[in-house]
Amino acid sequence: MNSANLQEEATCPICLEYFKDPVIIDCGHNFCRACIAQCWEGSDTAASCPQCRETVQQGNLRPNRQLANVLEIAKRLSLQAAKGAGGGGVCGEHQETLKLFCEEDQTSVCVVCHLSRAHRAHRVIPIEEAAQEYKVGNRVTHHSAL
């Protein structure tokens, strides 16, 4: 699986962002808890899946911890790939150099992505700065574990 496929699998079909607090519903589809709650707002106890339209019970939202763990790994890999490329990675969508890091989505982005609707309101920092913060954070975590 390449990074584009991994990013697609880690994306909520409602908000098109990385999952935040992923939940799985009866039909097996995953959504951000807030996205599915907003989608079903005002519905009865039974609602339909936004992806397959199967009728499901609203109360059966189960946290998807496994997906949350995979998501954390995907975010770390994205940062490491950008760091390893020295900011020279290329955006799969725009073929532009990945020079920025979106702190909200925890992913590297190009200038075009940053200006797009998906990241426009997000805080982005230079990728080198994000890599440095990641190193310092790991060092602090490592020392506190000793």
| pLDDT tens sequence across 56-111 | 988 889 999 999 988 887 777 766 665 555 545 788 778 788 889 998 888 889 98
Are both 98 and 39 inside the same structural domain? no
Residue 120's domain spans which residues?
A: 75-145
Quick check: is 37 in a domain?
yes
The average pLDDT across 5-30 equals 88
Are both 93 and 120 inside the same structural domain? yes
Predicted confidence band of residue 129 (pLDDT cuts 50, 70, 90): confident
Q: Which two tokens stand for residue 73?
A: 């790994």
pTM for this one? Answer: 0.54
Quick check: is 68 in a domain?
no
Output Rg (C-alpha) for the chain, integer angstroms.
Answer: 17
Predicted confidence band of residue 116 (pLDDT cuts 50, 70, 90): confident
d(CA 121, CA 143): 35
Are both 23 and 44 inside the same structural domain? yes
CB atoms within 10 A of CB 89: 20
Are both 102 and 141 inside the same structural domain? yes
Quick check: is 69 in a domain?
no
Are both 34 and 88 inside the same structural domain? no
Q: Which two tokens stand for residue 129?
A: 């700065």
Quick check: is 83 in a domain?
yes
